[in-house]
Amino acid sequence: MTKEGQTLSKVVPYLQAILVCDSGTVDPNSGKKTLVGIFDRIIAIEFPTSRCLSIYFRLSDAQGNYRFKVQYAQVATDKILAEVETRDVVTIKSRLDTVDSLISSPQALLVPEEGQYEFRLYANDMFLGRIAINAEQAKKGG
């Protein structure tokens, strides 16, 4: 149960897309999302470094009440470095509907060293999928 007294759905949504971007906006009239700077690699002069970003995802085949969570993890150690959860419950009326969302990190995310990192998406604590990014050292010289 949620604190609003609504039961969370057990229907596992189908993840159609998940993208990492610098930022995104939502048009208040149409609800359309605009993503800026889609990427899968962070190139840094030195580590540790940090980065602000947003995660976009699109779902289908869902019905009921959902709370979404994104975990940011270092793949080599499986250590969870950050976690963001939606505050409000999202209600999806029909399994025929598609739903998309944009979750922004509330603060810059730490990238402690070179390697692979991933964002893991959950709906009501059910794993839906992940997207990986690679952190690389900038090459010296031209």
Instruction: Render each residue's pLDDT in the chain as its tens digit; 142 residues.
Output: 455 568 999 999 999 999 999 999 999 999 999 999 999 999 999 999 999 999 999 999 999 999 999 999 999 999 999 999 888 899 999 999 999 999 988 889 999 999 999 999 999 999 999 999 999 999 886 5
By C-alpha distance, which of 85, 96, 91 is closest to 66?
91
CB-CB contact of 121 with 54 (8 Å)? no
Specify the residue for token string 């979404």: 68
Tell me the whole-structure pTM to 2 decimals. 0.90
Alpha carbon distance 124, 127 (integer Å) = 8
CATH topology of domain 14-129: Immunoglobulin-like (2.60.40)
Cα–Cα dist 65/123, whole Å = 10
